[in-house]
């Protein structure tokens, strides 16, 4: 009787409920990314500038509700990781493209969060080698979490014998333009090529999982043949839209303009193109960007936003 008596009130509440469900729809959709099959989730679609109101570069590869691969961990991505519903215990591997801050700045926040989980298997971490200018992957991790690292209070997660619940296992991947397999476990394989990103050692990654393939350009100016070889016939190609057409100087030395993205996507015959690493200098120029890409590539193309989910069919 009490419930029946409240029915008129509930009837008037329906529009409010609809409004609320619309407001929540994307968030809820994000939390179910990859619940069936393979999906890519964009954790961070922005570049280094905070005013783009996007997390910096970071991606999750989901398989049947498990977040299996994390690619890069730029600033803001740790929060997006939590919002995605993923846990650090689910990850099979972390892959780094390079160690610019906007690709690695939230790594420590993710590792700290994992300390509160009960992960009990090693966490492999793969990334580029170093040079005079940048640390290698093993140096990057040990300079943060080693016995003399900035966060040495968490060294039990890196130094054997200190009794942590699990150990990080960092590896340097020395690759050239021929793809090499860095990691393999079950139906999951990660391979890499070296890409040109100014003087910064950098990798592009290909993740093969459940019979699907997702390729991440990372940051690169597009020079060389490695990225096309790595991306050949990929189901999904994530390319970084960091500079507009006509960019020159340092910007062009570091990043590929839309015409180069389109040429690589076409030469590699990728089946789907996602544009990320969107910066203040490319945001608002989507029509121009798309027009340049369309001169070369005619397949599906999407400009990514944080937490967007791309099922790979």
Site for Zn ion in 93-152 (CB under 5 A): 100
Give the shortest CB-112-to-Zn ion separation in angstroms.
Answer: 24
Among 48-56, 74-82, 216-224, 274-282, the segment contacting Zn ion (CB under 5 A):
216-224
Q: What strands, in cross-sheet order, belong to the sheet with 93-95? A: 168-172, 123-127, 93-95, 66-71, 58-63, 38-44, 309-312
Residue with tokens 């519903």: 85
Our CB check for Zn ion shows the closer of 19 and 280 to be 280
Give the shortest CB-100-to-Zn ion separation in angstroms.
Answer: 4
Our CB check for Zn ion shows the closer of 157 and 202 to be 202
Our CB check for Zn ion shows the closer of 196 and 207 to be 196
Our CB check for Zn ion shows the closer of 106 and 219 to be 219
d(CA 223, CA 263): 12
Our CB check for Zn ion shows the closer of 242 and 274 to be 242
Q: What b/e sequence results for 89-108 when a residue is b if at least 16 CB atoms lie within 10 Å of its CB, and e otherwise?
A: bbbbbbbbbbbbebbbbbbb
Give the shortest CB-54-to-Zn ion separation in angstroms.
Answer: 15
Our CB check for Zn ion shows the closer of 158 and 256 to be 256
Detail the DSSP E strand segments found in the chain. Answer: 38-44, 58-63, 66-71, 93-95, 123-127, 168-172, 180-185, 188-195, 202-209, 212-216, 236-240, 273-276, 301-303, 309-312
Among 24-32, 148-156, 213-221, 226-234, the segment contacting Zn ion (CB under 5 A):
213-221
- Comparing C-alpha atoms, which of 8, 218, 195, 212 is closest to residue 95? 218
d(CA 174, CA 178): 11
Residue with tokens 């200190």: 162
Site for Zn ion in 226-255 (CB under 5 A): none
Q: Of the candidates 52, 106, 208, 219, which one interacts with Zn ion according to CB under 5 A?
A: 219
Give the shortest CB-134-to-Zn ion separation in angstroms.
Answer: 10
Give the shortest CB-201-to-Zn ion separation in angstroms.
Answer: 11
Which residues here bind Zn ion, judged by CB under 5 A?
Answer: 100, 219
């Amino acid at each position: 009787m009490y419930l029946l008596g409240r029915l008129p009130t509930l009837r008037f509440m329906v529009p409010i409920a609809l409004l609320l469900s619309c407001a929540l729809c994307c968030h809820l959709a994000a939390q179910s990314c990859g619940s069936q099959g393979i999906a890519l989730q964009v954790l961070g679609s922005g570049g280094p500038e905070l005013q783009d109101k996007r997390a910096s570069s970071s991606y999750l590869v989901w398989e049947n509700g498990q977040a299996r691969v994390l690619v890069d961990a730029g600033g803001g991505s740790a929060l997006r990781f939590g919002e995605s519903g993923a846990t650090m215990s689910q990850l099979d591997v972390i892959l780094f493209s390079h160690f610019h801050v906007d690709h690695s700045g939230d790594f420590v926040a993710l590792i700290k969060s994992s300390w509160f989980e009960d992960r009990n298997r090693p966490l492999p971490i793969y990334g580029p080698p170093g040079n005079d200018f940048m640390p290698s992957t093993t140096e990057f991790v040990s300079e943060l979490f080693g016995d003399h690292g900035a966060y040495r209070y968490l060294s039990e997660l890196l130094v054997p014998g200190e009794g942590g619940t699990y150990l990080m296992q960092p590896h340097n991947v020395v690759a050239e333009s021929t793809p090499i397999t860095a990691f393999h476990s079950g139906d999951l394989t990660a391979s890499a090529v070296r890409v040109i990103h100014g003087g910064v050692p950098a990798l592009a990654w290909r993740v093969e999982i459940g019979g699907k393939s997702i390729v991440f350009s990372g940051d690169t100016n597009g020079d060389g043949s490695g990225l096309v070889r790595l991306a050949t016939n990929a189901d999904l190609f994530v390319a970084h839209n960091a500079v507009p057409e006509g960019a020159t100087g340092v910007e062009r030395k570091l990043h590929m303009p839309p015409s180069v993205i389109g040429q690589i996507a076409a030469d590699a015959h990728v089946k789907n193109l996602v544009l990320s690493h969107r910066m203040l200098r490319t945001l608002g120029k989507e029509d121009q960007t798309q027009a340049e890409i369309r001169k070369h590539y005619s397949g599906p193309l999407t400009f990514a936003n944080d937490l967007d989910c791309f099922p790979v069919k």
